[in-house]
């Protein structure tokens, strides 16, 4: 059952999918259409899930479930992964590439391969206060406080010593 994203509680579980490229208006429209259909039918053992999704920064798809209503099960989580894989196939993008870290620089999101991070820090492209995305946040309330954080407060902090 689709709920407006802003109406989801702060303790709603989230999954963050980072695209390997900036999403176009056509991509976002496609995701919106399929996302609405997916959420309307998403269930765990036949019980509807109170869920939502939103695209952020033209780069991230965030899916959320209010588990105080019904808990997401292994099969329902598999269904959400299948939904995201379908989007990948439809749009020729990758939401599962974990070899790149997203940063905000000059109010734009950019992706940097893990192998290049140390050199980007050394040359000053990535600085201690450069915002980076922590895609491991687990609940909606953390999106405001722990999703975009200064590089120095992540595992990248070791490069600034």
Residue entry with tokens 């999703």: 147
pLDDT at residue 59 tops 90: yes
pLDDT at residue 143 tops 90: yes
- Please state the three-class secondary structure of the chain as a single string: CECCHHHCCCCCEEEEEECCCCCCHHHHHHHHHHHHHHHHHCEECCEECCEEEEEECCCEEEEEECCCCCCCCHHHHHHHHHHHHHHHHHHCCCCCCCCEEEEEECCEEEEEEHHHHHHHHHCCCCCCCCEEECCCCCECHHHHHHHEEEHHHCHHHHHHC
Label residue 41 by pLDDT band (50, 70, 90): very high
Q: What is the pLDDT of residues 66-79, one digit of tens each?
A: 988 888 888 899 99
Label residue 52 by pLDDT band (50, 70, 90): very high
Write down the pLDDT at residue 34.
97
Architecture of the 5-91 domain: 2-Layer Sandwich (3.30)
Write out the residue limits of the CATH 3.30.1360 domain(s) in the chain: 5-91
Mean pLDDT of the chain: 95
Write down the pLDDT at residue 68.
86
Write down the pLDDT at residue 134.
95
């Amino acid at each position: 059952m689709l709920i407006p994203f802003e109406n989801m509680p702060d303790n709603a579980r989230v999954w963050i999918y980072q695209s390997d490229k900036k999403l176009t208006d056509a991509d976002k429209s496609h995701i919106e259409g399929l996302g609405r259909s997916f959420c309307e039918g998403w269930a765990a053992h036949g019980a509807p899930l109170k869920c939502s999704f939103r695209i952020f920064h033209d780069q991230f798809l965030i899916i959320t479930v209010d588990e105080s209503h019904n808990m997401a099960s292994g099969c329902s989580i598999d269904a959400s992964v299948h939904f995201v894989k379908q989007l990948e196939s439809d749009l020729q993008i990758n939401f599962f590439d974990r070899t790149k870290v997203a940063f905000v620089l000059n109010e734009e999101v950019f992706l940097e391969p893990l192998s290049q991070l140390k050199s980007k820090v050394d040359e000053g492209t990535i600085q201690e206060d450069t915002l980076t995305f922590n895609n491991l946040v687990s609940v909606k309330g953390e999106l405001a406080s722990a999703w975009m954080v200064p590089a120095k407060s992540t595992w990248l902090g070791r490069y600034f010593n």
